[in-house]
Amino acid sequence: MAEALKRLAEDPSVIVIDLYPHPLGEGQMLWLDVQSPEALGQLRAVFVELAGGRAREVSLSSVGWAAFTSRIRDVTLRLTDACEEPSRTVALHEGRPGAPSVEWTRHSEGWLECAELLDGLTPVHHQYMNSGTKDAAEIEVSFGESGAEHRLWHLSE
């Protein structure tokens, strides 16, 4: 098991996803750790599919390039038909104890905005993805900020 986690942590094509108490106090932090331009492109492609209406819902546990820590079960991205963004775009749903799933809902323009935010992301930087609402979790995409040891720590927790 430890060797398998180490391989995941070292694989730049895998996006490591964690959910933990927000370091500044309130709520949770949803952390997506990206290590390569290709992995960033895969995430961006999902946002573009949602923005274009080619997908209505994407479960990141089913994409094959995401690895979840023990503190989170899944992240589901949803496209809403609403004309306006929901007042809360991120919700937590209890699953197994200590490992909720996250539902992130945006309208078409919101998913396009997410794709554009990733376009401006350069290595050794991060981008907060929330639309400024008071959500159950703040979403951070980190690009090249973590080494394999830090990723392994998250996966092993």
Q: What is the CATH number of the domain that holds 60?
A: 3.30.1360
- How do beta strands 28-34 and 137-143 pair? parallel
> DSSP class of residue 14?
P
Of residues 118, 127, 154, the one with CA closest to residue 39: 118
Domain count of the fold of the chain: 1
pTM of the model as a whole:
0.94
Evaluate whether 144 touches 117 at the Cβ level (below 8 Å): no
Per-residue pLDDT tens, the chain, 157 aa: give them.
689 999 989 999 999 999 999 888 778 999 999 999 999 999 999 999 999 999 999 999 999 999 999 999 999 999 999 877 778 899 999 877 778 999 999 999 999 999 999 999 999 999 999 866 679 999 999 999 999 999 999 999 8
Using DSSP's 3-state secondary structure scheme, residue 113 falls into: helix
Range of the domain at 139: 2-156
